Amino acid sequence: MEITCINCPVGCRLTVEMVEGKVVSVSGNNCKRGEIYAHQECIEPLRMVTAVIPVEGSSMPLSVKTKSPIPKKLIADCMAALSEVKVTAPVMLGSVVLENVCGTGVDVVATRNVF
């Protein structure tokens, strides 16, 4: 399997050999981070999720993000959960707008202030 590492701007082209669902070798990486990335990406890929949600009492939408990456397979479920979130102005930067999204233990937080 070939993937491109996204841990830094270099974008190493990684070749990953897997046997029975396990990574047995990684080549093409210029640093240890590439090897770690390849293992994670092939076993359970993770992604940060960003979105905007409406704010009652404000004409400006609120940008939000997960505090840490969540499993890629849960992105659609996360977006569906966010579509149900109701927030009212004022909202402060870093405020939790959705706790434990999709049972991941990861909160979704505001990325800016909205008054």
**What one-letter code names the amino acid at 17?**
E
The answer on 101 and 58 residing in a single domain is yes
pLDDT in tens, 68-110: 999 999 999 999 999 999 999 999 999 999 999 999 999 999 9
- The CATH number for 82's domain is 3.10.530.10
Q: Which pTM does this prediction carry?
A: 0.86
The answer on 55 and 18 residing in a single domain is no
Half-sphere exposure in the Cβ direction for 24 (13 Å, CA) = 5
The overall longest dimension of the chain from CA atoms, in Å, is 55
The answer on 78 and 38 residing in a single domain is no
Q: Which domain holds residue 106?
A: 50-110
The answer on 54 and 22 residing in a single domain is no
Long-range contacts of 13-18 (CB under 8 A, 24+ apart): 14/38, 16/42, 18/42
- Which pLDDT does position 22 carry in this prediction? 94
pLDDT in tens, 30-61: 999 999 999 999 999 999 999 999 999 999 99
- Residue 115 belongs to some domain of the structure: no
The answer on 104 and 64 residing in a single domain is yes
